[in-house]
Amino acid sequence: MKTKFKIVLISVFVVLFNSMNAQKPSLTVLNLDSQGLDYTPNQLGNLVRMEVEKLDKFEVTDRYDVSYLIEKHAIKIDNCYGKICLVEIGKLLESDKMMSGSIELFGDKIILSLRLVDVKTESIEKSQVKEFLKYPNEIQMMIRITLYEMFGMPVDELKNQIKSLTNEAQYDNVLINPDKEKLNLSGPRLGLTYFSGEIADVMTKPKFEGGYDVLPVMFMFGYQFEVQYLNSGSFQALFEFLPTITGVDQGLLLPNLSILMGFRHNIRGWEIALGPTAGLTKKATGYYDNERVWHLSSDWVGPEPNTFPSEKRIDSRGNVTYHTGFVFAFGKSFKSGRMNYPVNAFVIPSKSGIRAGLTFGFNAKNK
């Protein structure tokens, strides 16, 4: 019994030893056909060779050895992309496997095709065709993704890159736009503004009392300008300039300018922003009597001096002046093809009341 156990144990060790020292099949990567891209076939072949070496599945022939062997055997590889040519050259180079393929630009797509040829059986062992968006600066990442899928390797660590390079609905980020900020939501803004507190009371009062005789909910429109100063990883930081006009639907003209600092998530489209806002309105100097009724200071006709504390308040009978506040905004951008649809909510608190609203915008993605 002990003897049989020793034999089994030795056999297991022998199998493990042989498997650990088994020689990897040799693989030679030749040039890749290049169509419509600013890469030479030799450059693409070198990129594929580099990425195959990282897989650690083959003994990849060094590019200098490839050049030496090709020169030694006087082989022409300028148009060697098919199976027959790869098999013939593989036999001359005594390589177990051969790899080649093509990368072509079709409109807004890049088509990457790779073929692994078994020299001994003279057959295509594996092939993989992958379609990517037109981002030529990311050719090496496209090759890596295609090789991972070709050899059934886990692509979890590459899932963000795969989405960015294959899905048009993905938001732009530093991967596909390293030089310029392409996710720019500059464009028209439409929405509603709601007033509360003292501001709402003034809006609803009749004009002879200093009000505006309007509803405290008004239509607003404007245009948002963006300046991005950071676009890295999953986030971008930007300044937003938003001039708007409110109240035209009720006979008013209330201009406003907001300057916000925002942060946007490139993948999810969520955004927060905050910053100062300023606008023009009419204000007058007056006072509240004991019954909290508002009067203009000029209306006082008593024999004694007015002892009620005076203050400035929004009043349709006053003079045009400016007002300031601070905006807190958040929202999300939705995509459909190349169209962006930002939806944002905002709040402007003040001691006179709160202004809150919802805006909607749209624009087309610029290339």
- Residue where a domain terminates, one of 166, 197, 214: 166
Using one digit for the tens of pLDDT, what is the confidence trace for 301-347?
A: 877 888 888 888 889 998 999 899 999 999 998 887 778 899 999 99
Query: Which helix H or strand E contains 70, and what residues bound it?
Result: helix 63-72
Residue 13 pLDDT greater than 60, yes or no: no
Assigned domain for 7 exists = no
pLDDT in tens, 64-101: 888 888 888 787 777 888 889 899 888 888 899 999 99
Mean pLDDT of 257-285: 91
- 125 shares a domain with 40: yes
* Out of 46-60, 155-169, 262-276, least confident range: 155-169
Tell whether 144 and 195 lie within a shared domain: no
Same domain, 75 and 156: yes
Q: Name the residue with tokens 């004991």.
A: 290
Show the domain range for 67: 22-166
Domain CATH number, residue 105:
3.40.50.10070
pLDDT at 160: 80
The three-state secondary structure class of 109 is: strand
Q: Are 138 and 175 in contact (CB under 8 A)?
A: yes
Residues 74 and 149 in one domain: yes
Arithmetic mean of pLDDT, 92-121: 91
**56: Cα within 13 Å, side-chain hemisphere:** 1
What is the pLDDT at residue 118? 93
Same domain, 130 and 191: no
Count the neighbouring beta carbons within 10 Å of the beta carbon of residue 309: 7
Look at the chain and report how many structural domains it folds into: 2
Contacts of 284 (CB under 8 A, 6+ apart): 210, 296, 312, 313, 315, 317, 318, 319
Highest mean pLDDT (candidates 76-80, 167-171, 266-270, 317-321): 317-321
pTM score of the predicted model? 0.56
pLDDT at 8 over 90: no
- DSSP per position, 198-258: HHHHHHHS-GGGT---S-SEEEEEEEEEEEEEEEETTEEEEEEEEEEEE-GGGT--EEEEE
pLDDT number for residue 304: 84
168 Cβ neighbours under 8 A, 6+ residues apart: 133, 337, 338
Over residues 274-296, mean pLDDT: 90
Residues 130 and 192 in one domain: no
